[in-house]
Structure 1
Amino acid sequence: MSNWYDKVDTRELYADKVVGCDECGESPLNIKGDGVVCGPILRLISVDYEKNLYRGSMLVVTKGEVPQPKVDIQLGPSMESSGSVSELNLKSGQLNATLIHSEMSYKFYRYAIEIELASVEQMCKYSVDGNTEAHYRFFIPSNTTNFNTISVSCNGFSLSVDTTKFKGSMWYDILRKHADVHYHVMLGGGDQIYSDSIKLYCNRFQDWLKTKDPIKKYSTKCSPELREELDKFYLKEYLEWFGYGYWKGSTEKSNTSQRCFPIAMSTIPSVNVFDDHDIIDGYGSYSHKFMSTDVFKNVGKSAYKYYMLFQHHTSVDEVEAYHKESCWVLGAQKGDYIEEKSHSVYTRLGPSMAVLGIDCRTERKLTQICSKETYDILFKKLADEVKHGKIDHLLLMLGVPIAYPRLVWLEYIFSSKFLFLFKWLSKKGIIAKGLVNEFNGDVELLDDLNDHWCAHYHKKERNYLLARLQDFAAQNKIRVTILSGDVHLASVGRFRSKVHTHHITSAKEDHDKKVLNEPENDVRLMVNVISSAVVNTPPPDQMAMLLQKRNKNHHFDRETDEDAVPIFMTDVNGENRSSNAFMNRRNWSDIIPVTNIINNKYLKNEYKVEIGEKLVPGTVGIKQEIDDSTDVSQVAYPVTENGIIATIHVEKDTSSPKSETVGYQIAIPELQTQISELSHAGIKHLDLK
C-alpha cells in the first residue's frame, strides 16, 4: 500500500523496447510456449452517468491446455492529493471471465470490468495469475470529469516500406505522455492492423489472385480449405501484432517490432472502428462484380471475425455481446459482402462529452459507404442520447477524412477508358508492372481515391451526412469534432460559416466579424482532426505541396465554407513551412478538455493557456500571432471552460530512438448558440427541400 502512488518512469522503463524496432526475428509465436500469448488488452464499452457506472472489458488469449488466467484488481485514487496513504481504502476484487472463443490450441477469455465512478480520478491496478507489470494499470476519470482522449490510425506499415528508416516509435511517445497526462481512452480510427500480407502468406488465396482466366476467377467457390487458411492467417497476424508488435513485410527491409504498442493496449482502454487494411487494401471499393466473388467475400468475413474478437472482445456467435451490447449502433441491413450488420460504437466520454464511431466499412461498396436507413438509426441514437444529459462535444470517428482537398481529377484519369491499353500491358508485365492491382486490374491508387468521401460515387452521401450533422449540432447546441486518419499525414479540415470577400455590405461585414471573432457562436463550425499515421510511412514532400495547392476555399452550401486550417506555420525544427495546412510526418493526436489542462501541472506547463484567452492554431506552448489581417484562414479560437484542445503530436526525427514529437494545437470551443433550423440552400449534389 505504501507504494500505491508509484509513478511509472516510462522514459527509462521502455527505452529499450524501441531499440531494434526496424527489424524482427523469428515469430514470437514460434518461440513462446503455452500460457498467455496475447493481452491483456483493455476496451472501453460504456459509461453511464445516470447509474454512475464505468464498463469495460479485458481480453486475454492463451495457448495450450492451461487453466483460465486469474485477474485480480485493486482500485483507489490516482493522486496523492486525493487522500493520504494511511487513509487509503483500496478496493480489491477478481474479474469474472467468459470463454468467448476457442480455436486450434488458443482460447479467448473476456473479463468484465464494472467500476463505480467516484468523485476523484481512480487508478485500477491489476495482475494476471499473480504477475504484475508497471503498465498493468488504467485510469478512470471522476464522475464530473470528461475523458483525456487519444486518437490514432494507420497502425502498421505498407507491405514494401523500408522500415530501416524508422528508428523511433510513436507508441513510446504515447506511453511517455500517458504517465503525466493519464489518458482515459484510445480511439482507433481504422487500420489498427495491416493485413495486406495475406497476398503473400496465404497460398491458396495467392493462387486465386494469380488466376488468369477471369471466368474461372470470378466463379471460384471458397473451399473449406481456403477458408481455414484465411482464418489461420488472420489469427496468426493478430496474435503477432496485438501480442508482440511483430510484423514482417514483403522485403528484407520491411520488418518491425513495435513492442510499445501491446503495452499501450494494456494500460489505455480502446474504442475502435475498422478500415480497409484491417481486412485487405481497398476492401469495399472495388467493382461490385469483383467484391461479390465468393473468395473475396470470405476474405472480408474472416477478417471481420477476428476484428470483432481482438478489437471488440466479442465473438460473432454470441447473442448478447454481439447483438445487444449497449455500445453498439447496428446498421439497418447486412452489408453485401461481409454479410453482417455494421457495428458502429457509441459511448459517453464524460458527463458532457461523447463519441460515435461510424462503421464505414461493413456496408461499403463502390457506390455507398452507409445506407440512408443506417444514417437514420445513427441520428436517432444521438437524439435519444441527448435526452440523458447535455452533450457539449461529440467526437465523430470517420476512418477517412471528410474535409480534405479534392482529387477527383486523378480519379477521372485513373478510371479513364483511354488507359485500357496501358492497364492491359501492365497486367501482362510488359510495362509499368505496378500500375495495376492484382485484384481486378484497376490502377493501383484508384481504390484509395474511391475510398474518399469526395470521390465521384460518394459526394452526394458526404454532403447528406454533413448537412445532417450541422442540423443536429445546431438544434442541440453541440460542437461536433470529426476524427479521421487514413491519409498518412496530419491536417485539420474545417467547416464554418461563410466569410464574404467580395462586394461586402455593412451587414455582411458585421456577419464576417462575428464569424471570425466569435467562433463559439458559429453553429456551422466543425473541424476534422486528421491524424495519420502512428506507424506507417508518410508521403513525400511533393504530396504535401500538391495538397496545399489544392487547398482552396470550397462552398459546401451558400452559408458554409470549407478549407484546411494553417496550423503548421513552422516545421518541427522551428523553420517556416510553406505547406502550412499539411504535415507529412508520422503523428498521433489527443483531445483534452480545457479544465483538465488547467488542473494538470504537467499539461498547464506545456500549454501555458488560461481560460478566456484566444489561441491561433499552431505549436503548443508558443503564442502565435495572426501575421496577415486579410487572411481569413487564420482565426484565433477562444479557450473556454467547457472547450477542448485538440493536439497533433508530430515526429521530430525518424532516425532517433528517442521518438520525440512536437505538438500542434487548436482550441475548439463548445457551441454557445442554438438554432432550430439551418439553411442548406445551394448545397451540391442533392436536394434537401
Structure 2
Amino acid sequence: MNFRENWFGDWDTEQLYAELVDGCDDCAITSPVVKSGMVCGPILRLRKVDYDENVYYGSILVVLKGPAAEGPKIAYTTGPASEQSEESLELKLKDGVFESTMFHREVWDDENISFFRYNIALPLTEKEQMVKYALDGESKPHYRFFIPSATTNFNTISYSCNGFSLSVDTKKFKGSLWFDILNKHSKVHYNVMLGGGDQIYSDGITIYCEKVKEWSHKNDLLQKRTMKVDGEFKKQLDDFYLKEYIEWYGYGHWKGSTDDSKTTQRCLPIAMATIPSVNIWDDHDIIDGFGSYSDGFMKSDVFSSIGKAAYKYYMLFQHHVSIEESEAYLKDPIWLLGNRPGPYIGERSHSVFTRLGPTMGLLGLDCRTERKLAQIVTDETYDIVFKKMEEEAKKSNMDHLLVMLGVPIAYPRLVLLEWLFTSRLLHPLKILSRKGIIAGGLVNKFNGDIELLDDLDDHWCARHHKKERNGLMARLQDFGAKYSTRITILSGDVHLASIGRFKSKKHRHHIFSSSEHDADNAKIENEPENDLRLMFNVISSAVVNTPPPNAMAALLQSKATIHHFDHETDEDAVPIFKYGVDEKSRASTCFLNRRNWSDILPVENALNNEFLKSQFRSNLQDRVVPGIVTGGKPLKKVDPQQGQPSSETKEGYSAYPITEKGILVSLFIETDPLSAKSCTTRYALPIPELKAQCDSLTHSGLKHWKLK
C-alpha cells in the first residue's frame, strides 16, 4: 500500500460510516464470526510513552481463526498530521513494519484461534505525527492513529459502560455514540481513549453458557456454593468469554435476554482501530457484582472460576497479554502489580501508569481484582501505586494527573437504601422471592440478596468502604499539594453524567474576624488555581447502555448537598447541567441521565485547533462558568473585576479560568436517542493547573478514615 500518493486525503467520517449506524438496535440471528480469517482487530493499545528517550510504545492486536501460523504483515508510514510545514512531504514520510508475536492460541468452534501482538515503538518528533498502516497491503481509511509531539500532552477520551444490560429494550436507541466519537476524532485527533470499566457486558453468561445457566437456576443456595467446576465447565467458560469478545470487539454484535435486546455497534471496531486504548475493568467485564458479594459466596468454585476465565480474556483482548507470558504479564514496567494474588481470581492486580504527555500522568487503578465486600484495593497495593507516582513526580514535572477509578468516588450517599436493603425487615420478602412466590425480581439469581445491593456495595461511599475511600482521597490530596499536581478522577458505572468536586471549605463568619474570613473565602472563589484541595471527579457513563429514569436523577440531586470531607475540605457536585440538550432549564442541575462520553483536552491543544476554537469561543485567561456549549449558549464568562453574584456562588456556580497549562473537560450528551445522526451536546469545564504547593495538608475532622 502506497500512502504517499494522498497523504493528506480527506477522511470524511460522516459520509463513510453513517450507514453503519442503521440497524444498531438489532443484530444478526446467527453469529457474525467468519469461518476463517481475521475475526477481531486490528485493536490499538497504548503501552507507555518514554519522555527520557522520546519513544512512543504501543501494540496492535489481531485475532485469526483457522490454521494460519503467521499473522498478516502490518506495514506503516509515519508523517506529519497536518499541512503546516514548507518542508518537502516526501522527506518527512518514513516507512516500516511492525514485528509480530503469536502470544496465545486455543481451539474454539473446532478451529485454531491465534492471537498476534504487533509491538509499536516510534520516536516522538517536534510535530504531531500521523501513522497510517496496512494489513497484508490492504488499508482502510481508519487504519491510522495520531501521536502528539514530544512537547505536547495527549488529547484524551474517557468512556465507560460500553454495552447493554441483558433486558434493555434497544429499540429505544437508534443512534451510536461511537459514530459521534469518530466524527469528533477526525477533527480533534484523539491520542488515547480510556476505558473506565465495563468495556464489555458479559452478564449473558447466565443465559448462553449452559453450565452457568444450570447453576444460576438452582434455588438451593447451599447447592450453588458447593457445586464443583470440572473440565467441561471450564471449557464452556472459556468458550463463552472468547466468543463474547470476538463478537463484540470484532463485529459490535450483542444479543441480550429478549427479542428486543439486541445491538450491532459497527463503529466500535473502527474506533478501536484508530484510537489506542488504556483500560481498567469493572464487574460487567466479568459478571454483574463480582467482588461485592459475601466472601463465602465469592469463594465458591463456580463464581471464582467465572472470575478466573473473565480475567484471562480481559488480559488477552484489553491488554494484548497472555497470563502465561511471564515477561509481558509480570515483568513489563508499565504494570503496577499487586503484592499478592487477589482473593477470588488468584492473580495479582494489574494497575497501569504512563505519561500522557511530558507534564500529564495517568493512573489506571485496578479496583476489581483485589475487591472484596469490605475491601477495594489492599494497603500494600496502594503503597506500590503511590511510590510509583512519587518517583514520576520527582523525575519531572507533572501538572496534571488523571486517575481512573471505575466507580465514582465523589457521589451522593444513598444511606437509606443501603440500610433498607440489608435490613432484617426484608428477610421474609427475600425468602418468598427466592421461592418465586412474590416479587420475582426482588433478589438476584446468584446469592439471593436484594437485586440492587451489589451496586450499592460497589460504591466508595458504601459503609464497607468509607474508611478506604477517605484514606485514598486524603492521600491523593497530599500528593497533589506536595508536587503541585492537579488531580482529576475519571469514573463511570452509574449510567449518567455528573462531575463531583472537592474544594477548600469556605468558613462562616466569626464575630471578631469576619474581614479575614471574607478575604479567605474570596481567595477560594477567585483563585481556584491556588486551591490545594480542588479536585474533580468526571463521571461519564454510559457510552452504550441505557440511562436510569428521571426519578433517579432527581433523587441524586436531592442528595447532592455539601458534605464536609474534613474541616478544610467540602465536597459537592458541579451544577453543569443548568440547561438540557434542548437548552431549556433543568431542576437536576448536577446529573444528566442520557448516554454520554467525555474528553480531556490540554488548553494549548484546544486553542490551536480551528474546530475546537469555534466550539469553545473562549480565550486564555477567560473565567467561565461550567455549562452547556452550543451556538445559542456559549460558556458564560465572568468579569474578574466584578466577580460572580453571591447568589450564584452559593448554588455552586463557580467560575474557573482557562489557563495555559490547564485542561478542558467536555461531557458529550446524546441529543436524541432516536436519531441515527447520533449527535451530542457539549458541556464543558475548564480545570486550571495547581500553582500552589504545600508539603503536607491537615485532615483534622476527617471521619471513617485510615491514612498512612
Q: Same fold (TM over 0.5)?
A: yes
Q: Distance in 2 between matches of 1:647 and 1:454?
A: 25
Kept in 2, the 8 Å contact 1:150–1:187? The answer is yes
The amino acid of 1:680's aligned partner reads H
Aligned residue number for residue 59 of structure 2: 57
- Residue 516 of structure 1 corresponds to 525
- Name the structure 2 match of 1:353: 360
Q: Whole-Å Cα distance in 2 between the matches of residues 398 and 201 of structure 1?
A: 30
Question: Any idea what the Cα deviations from partners look like across 1:228-287, whole Å, max 9, x if unmatched?
Answer: 100000000000000000000000000000000010000000000000000000000001
What's the secondary structure of 2:5's corresponding residue? coil
C-alpha deviation, 1:501, in angstroms = 4.3
Contact in 1 for aligned 2:127/2:148 (Cα 8 Å): yes
* Offset at residue 389 of structure 1 (A): 0.9
**Whole-angstrom distance in 1 between the partners of 2:338 and 2:591:** 34
* Offset, 1:62: 0.2
User: Per the alignment, in what secondary structure is the counterpart of residue 546 of structure 1?
Assistant: helix
SS in structure 1 at match of 2:158? strand
- Change beyond 3 A, Cα 1:411–1:629: closer
Report the AA paired with residue 49 of structure 2.
V
Q: Output one character per residue of 1:536-571: Cα deviation in whole Å (capped at 9) or x when no partner.
A: 000011100000000010000000000000001100
Residues 80-118 of structure 1 deviation map (CA, whole Å, 9 limit, x = unaligned): 113455544311111110111001121000000000000
SS of the residue 1:396 aligns to: strand
8 Å contact 1:41–1:60 — kept in the other structure? yes
Q: 2 CA distance for matches of 1:553 and 1:502?
A: 18
Task: Report 1:50-89 matches (<5 A).
Answer: 50-66=52-68, 67-83=70-86, 86-89=89-92
Query: 2:515: which partner in 1?
Result: 506
Note the C-alpha offset of 1:28: 4.3
Q: How far apart, CA to CA, are the structure 2 residues paired with 1:650 and 1:316? A: 37
Q: 2:587 aligns with which of 578, 597, 602?
A: 578
SS state of the match for residue 301, structure 1? helix
Cα shift at 1:500: 2.5
Tell me the amino acid that sits aligned with residue 338 of structure 1: I
- Counterpart pick for 2:667 among 648, 651, 658: 648
1:282 maps to 2:294: no
- The aligned residue for residue 230 of structure 1 is 237
Instruction: Quote the offset at 1:221 in angstroms.
Output: 1.7
Q: How does 1:67-466 map to 2 (within 5 A)?
A: 67-83=70-86, 86-104=89-107, 105-466=112-473
Give the conservation status (yes or no) of the 8 Å contact 2:471–2:706.
no
Query: CA contact under 8 A between 1:59 and 1:313: conserved in structure 2?
Result: yes
User: Cα offset for 1:344?
Assistant: 0.3
Question: What is residue 543 of structure 1 aligned with on the other side?
Answer: 552
From 667, 673, 678, give the equivalent of 1:659: 678
**Cα distance in structure 2, aligned partners of 1:524 and 1:150:** 25
In structure 1, stretches of 5+ residues that fail to align are: none
* Helix, strand or coil at the partner of 1:378: helix
SS in 1 for 2:590: coil
Name the SS of the counterpart of 1:387 in structure 2: helix
Counterparts in 2 of 1:630 and 1:40: CA distance versus 1, 3 Å:
closer
Structure 2: how far apart are the matches of 1:629 and 1:274? 38
Structure 2: unaligned runs, 5 residues or longer: 638-643
C-alpha distance in 2, partners of 1:502/1:249? Answer: 57
Whole-Å separation in 1 of the counterparts to 2:346 and 2:594:
37
Partner of 1:44: 46
Identity %: 59
> Pick from 631, 636, 643: which aligns with 1:624?
636
CA distance in 1, matches of 2:156, 2:164: 24
| Contact 2:62/2:71 (8 A) holds in 1 | no
Counterpart residue type for residue 359 of structure 2: S
What is the match of residue 24 of structure 1? 27
Distance in 2 between the 1:636 and 1:41 partners?
A: 40
550, 561, 568: which is aligned to 2:570? Answer: 561
Counterpart CA distance in 2 for 1:624 and 1:309 is 46
Shift of 1:52: 0.4
Corresponding letter in the other structure for 2:669: V
Residue aligned with 1:113, SS: strand
Q: Which amino acid aligns with 2:390?
A: A
Q: Distance in 2 between matches of 1:670 and 1:52?
A: 24
Partner residue of 2:598 out of 583, 589, 595 = 589
1:684 aligns with 2:708: no
Please state whether the residue corresponding to 1:183 is helix, strand or coil. Answer: coil
SS at structure 2 position matched to 1:347: strand
Distance 1:410 1:357 in 2: 30
Please say if residues 354 and 363 of structure 2, whose CA atoms lie closer than 8 Å, have aligned partners that are also in contact. yes
Q: Distance in 1 between matches of 2:693 and 2:495?
A: 36
Distance 2:105 2:119 in 1: 18
Amino acid at match of 1:573: D
Deviation per residue, 1:362-386 (Å, 9 max, x gap): 0001000001111011000101111
**Tell me, what secondary structure is at the counterpart of 2:357?**
coil
Matches within 5 A, 1:663-674: 663-674=682-693
Give the counterpart letter for 2:369 in structure 1.
Answer: T
Write the distance in 2 (CA, Å) between the matches of 1:85 and 1:402.
51
The whole-number CA distance in structure 2 between the counterparts of 1:98 and 1:597 is 38
Aligned equivalents of 1:346 and 1:7: distance in 2? 35
Paired letter, 1:638: P
For residues 382 and 373 of structure 1, what CA distance do their matches in structure 2 show? 14
Secondary structure of 1:102 counterpart: strand
Offset of residue 686 of structure 1: 2.6
CA contact (8 A) 1:470 1:523 kept: yes
State the alpha-carbon separation in 1 of the partners of residues 177 and 29 from structure 2.
23
Which residue in the other structure is 2:534 paired with? 525
How many Å separate the matches in 2 of 1:252 and 1:213?
30
> For 2:84, what is the secondary structure of its paired residue?
helix
The answer to whether the Cα contact below 8 Å between 2:597 and 2:668 also exists between their aligned partners in 1 is: yes
Provide the C-alpha distance between the structure 1 equivalents of 2:352 and 2:667, rounded to a whole number of angstroms.
23
Q: Could you tell me which of 645, 653, 670 is aligned with 1:634?
A: 653
Name the structure 2 match of 1:15: 18
Which shows bigger deviation, 172-181 or 331-340? 331-340
Letter in 1 for 2:43: I
Per-residue CA deviations over 1:466-523 (Å, capped at 9, x if unaligned) read 0000000000000000000000000000000001345572221111101100000000
- Report the AA paired with residue 601 of structure 1: E
Secondary structure at 2:289 match in 1: coil
Partners in 1 of 2:676 and 2:648 — Cα distance? Answer: 41
Aligned partners of 1:10, 1:601: CA distance in 2, in Å? 18
Alpha carbons 1:680, 1:688 under 8 Å: kept: no
Partner of 2:640: none
Q: Any conservation in 1 of the 2:472–2:707 contact (CA below 8 Å)?
A: no
What whole-Å deviation, never above 9, does each CA across 1:324-364 have from its counterpart, x for those lacking one? 11211001211100011100011000010010000000000
Separation in 2, partners of 1:58, 1:559: 47
Contact 2:32 2:251 in 1 (8 A): no
Report the more deviating stretch, 554-563 or 504-513.
504-513
Count of residue pairs brought into register by the alignment = 688
Letter in 2 for 1:45: R
CA distance in 2, matches of 1:686, 1:317: 38
Q: Give the letter aligned to residue 4 of structure 1.
A: W
